[in-house]
C-alpha cells in the first residue's frame, strides 16, 4: 500500500483549511437566494469563537501528547533492548569457551537483524530469520545451562536473553500502535470548522473580502496545518521524518564486533 508523502498531507490540510475559511468569508453570498440582496452578517460572539479555538487547542494538545508519548515509548524500548542484548552478550562471554563462542556469534547476528529490522520500511512485518535465530539462541542458552557449573551465571544469562526477546515483541507492538482514527478525524473536523468560523468572523467584522485580516488568518491556518502534519509525522513510526534513533543498537553492534575480533 502506497504511503502518502507528508508534504502532500500538509499541503492538503492547509488548502482544506483555506477553502473552509473562504466558504466562511463568502457566507453572505452563499446565503443569498435568487436575486435577493445578501443580508448583513452579524459578528460571531467573542465567547463563542474563543470557545471554538479553545476546544481545538485542547484537542491538538491532547492528540500531540498521545503521539509524543508513543514516540518516547519507542525510543525507550530501543535503549532497553540494547541494554538487554548487551547484558546477554557480556554474560555469554563468562561461559565455558565451548558454549560462549557459538552464543556470542549468534547474539551478534541477532543484533545485526535487529538493526536491519529497525531501519526497514516494512519493519512491522514478521521476519522469519529473526524467529529462527531466536530459537537457535534459546537452544544454545539451554545447552549452556545444562553444561555450565555456575547456575547463578546461567540463570542471569537466561533472564537477559528472555528479556531481549520480550522487548523485541514490545517494539513490534509499539510500532503497530497508532492513535485511534476517530480521534484524528475529529481533530481534523474541528480544525475545518474553526477555519470556517474564522472566515465567517472576518467577513462579519471586516467586509466580505476580508482583505485586512486575510494575511494573519492565512498565517494562523499555516501554523495549524503544520501542527497537524507534525502529529501525522509522529504517528509514522517507520516512514516519517521524525524517527527514533537506533544509535544504542548500532553502538552495541560495534562493541560486539570488536569483542569478537579481539
Please give, one letter per residue, the 3-state secondary structure of the chain.
CCCCCHHHHHHHHHHHHHHHHHHHHCHHHHCCCCCCCCCCCCCCCHHHHHHHHHHHHHHHHHHHHHHHHHHHHHHHHHHHHHHHHHHHHHHHCCCCHHHHHHHHHHHHHHHHHHHHHHHCCCCCCCCHHHHHHHHHHHHHHHHHHHHCCCHHHHHHHHHHHHHHHHHHHHHHHHHHCCCCHHHHHHHHHHHHHHHHHHHHHHHHHHCCCCCCCHHHHHHHHHHHHHHHHHHHHHHCCCCCCCCCCCHHHHHHHHHHHHHHHC
pTM: 0.82
Identify the pLDDT of residue 147: 79
Give me the pLDDT at residue 237, please. Answer: 81
Q: Check residue 61 and give its pLDDT.
A: 93
Give the Cα separation of 235 and 232 in Å (integer).
Answer: 5
Q: What is the pLDDT of residue 126?
A: 62
- For the chain, residues with pLDDT lower than 70 are 1-2, 28-46, 121-126, 149, 204-212
- Position 1 scores a pLDDT of 47
Could you give the CA distance from residue 260 to residue 252 in angstroms, rounded to a whole number?
12
pLDDT at 208: 47
pLDDT at 197: 87
Per-residue pLDDT tens over the stretch 175-186? 888 889 899 999
Long-range contacts made by residues 221-227, C-beta under 8 angstroms, separation at least 24? 221/14, 221/17, 221/18, 221/21, 221/195, 222/14, 224/17, 224/56, 224/191, 224/194, 224/195, 225/10, 225/13, 225/14, 225/17, 226/10, 227/60, 227/64
Amino acid at each position: 500500500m502506497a504511503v502518502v508523502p507528508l508534504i502532500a498531507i500538509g499541503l492538503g490540510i492547509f488548502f482544506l483549511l483555506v477553502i473552509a475559511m473562504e466558504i466562511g468569508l463568502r457566507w453572505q453570498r452563499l446565503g443569498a437566494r435568487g436575486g435577493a440582496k445578501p443580508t448583513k452578517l452579524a459578528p460571531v460572539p467573542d465567547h463563542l469563537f474563543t470557545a471554538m479555538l479553545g476546544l481545538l487547542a485542547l484537542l491538538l494538545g491532547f492528540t500531540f501528547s498521545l503521539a509524543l508519548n508513543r514516540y518516547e515509548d519507542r525510543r525507550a524500548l530501543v535503549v532497553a533492548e540494547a541494554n538487554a542484548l548487551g547484558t546477554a552478550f557480556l554474560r555469554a562471554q563468562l561461559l565455558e569457551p565451548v558454549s560462549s563462542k557459538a552464543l556470542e556469534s549468534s547474539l551478534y547476528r541477532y543484533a545485526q537483524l535487529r538493526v536491519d529490522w529497525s531501519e526497514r520500511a516494512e519493519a512491522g512485518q514478521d521476519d522469519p530469520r529473526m524467529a529462527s535465530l531466536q530459537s537457535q539462541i534459546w537452544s544454545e542458552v539451554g545447552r549452556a545451562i545444562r553444561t555450565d557449573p555456575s547456575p547463578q551465571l546461567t540463570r542471569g544469562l537466561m533472564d537477559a536473553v528472555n528479556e531481549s526477546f520480550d522487548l523485541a515483541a514490545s517494539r513490534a507492538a509499539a510500532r503497530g500502535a497508532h492513535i485511534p482514527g476517530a480521534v484524528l478525524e475529529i481533530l481534523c473536523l474541528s480544525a475545518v470548522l474553526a477555519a470556517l468560523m474564522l472566515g465567517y468572523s472576518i467577513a462579519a467584522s471586516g467586509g466580505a473580502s476580508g482583505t485586512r485580516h486575510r494575511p494573519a488568518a492565512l498565517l494562523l491556518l499555516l501554523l495549524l496545518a503544520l501542527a497537524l502534519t507534525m502529529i501525522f509525522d509522529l504517528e509514522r513510526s517507520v516512514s516519517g521524518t521524525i524517527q527514533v534513533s537506533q544509535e544504542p543498537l548500532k553502538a552495541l553492534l560495534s562493541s560486539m564486533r570488536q569483542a569478537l575480533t579481539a
